[in-house]
Structure 1
Amino acid sequence: MSKIWIGLFRGVNVGGRKMVMKNLVTALEAAGLQDVRTYIQSGNVLFRSALSEQELETLIDGVVEKTFGYHANLHLVTLSHLETVLKDNPYRNHKHTGKAQHVFFFKAPPSHVDRELMDSLKADSEAYEITDELMYLYAPDGIGRSKLVEKIGKAIKADMTARNLNTVETLRDMAAELSA
């Protein structure tokens, strides 16, 4: 039975890692994925497949390497996972939403979290909550100015990718549409 998957690529269309979304859709469809669609140019893809998560990671990495010339740094999540992420968001009732709230998805639980460093870097207006699967960040002044975000790789030892709340909600809505 096929399942709806959401793929979150890390580091595409920045630093020379070009990924034309139209070409990605064509290549993934040719590889057997169904109902492939993308959202914005930062590496969000939705599709239907009966393959396991591990099989999909291997398949998609091969497709990306063949099509674009580099290995994919991909996090796969399901519609139910995105729904849970949104439901459990500790900042969902804050005044600032959308671009002020971010979700950092971990591929595996962090091997180390330096909360002392994080607390020393975060602005007074910022707040965060970390689980084994993700970090919620509330940054009403924007992540471009955030010293915490600038040093997040030193504070959290994990393979991660981030999306703002607007993107997470849109991906959830697109996945729900696919499953209807």
Structure 2
Amino acid sequence: MEIKADFLKEAYSKNNYFVFFKEFPDTFEDFLSLYGFDDEKGAMPFYSCYDKHVRFFFDSYDLNKEKFIPKLFNLAKEGHWEADATGLLRDKISDFIKKHSKDMVEYLETKPDDEVVPFWHYVFDGSSRNNPVSDAKFNTIYKLIKAINKKQANILKEEFLRMYR
């Protein structure tokens, strides 16, 4: 992981999206090992720059369309909300879905439902019941997804209701 961290740091400093994207974590566990915060271990190597790195990762979408959504999906399907880096990642995924809902749905349709459910769980994880912000986010994303694919919209809705109702 140390070598990956060095490549990420160098790629970010040189605005090299391709190398940065390649080296950006593929799993939620790897993401936490670089950008997370542990109460016992403290800050992980890139905790102090997670904001810049996560935003930079999302800037690479247009350069890596074929590989971006699969990587995003793999990060999210294992994810759980925590403050800071994982919260920002979740928020950026939500923004991405709003902008690229058709592309996202096309990809989700290639995955089994038992992998899609945890993806949607992460997208909506982290708030309390009857939270107006979460409800608004759900309503926005649900309408977008439902207009494209009713099956995916139902999976999303069922998971959201399971979590918060």
Taking structure 1 as the reference length, the TM-score comes to 0.26
Taking structure 2 as the reference length, the TM-score comes to 0.27
Higher relative contact order, chain-length normalized (CA < 8 Å, sep 6+): 1
Bigger proportion of residues as strand: 1
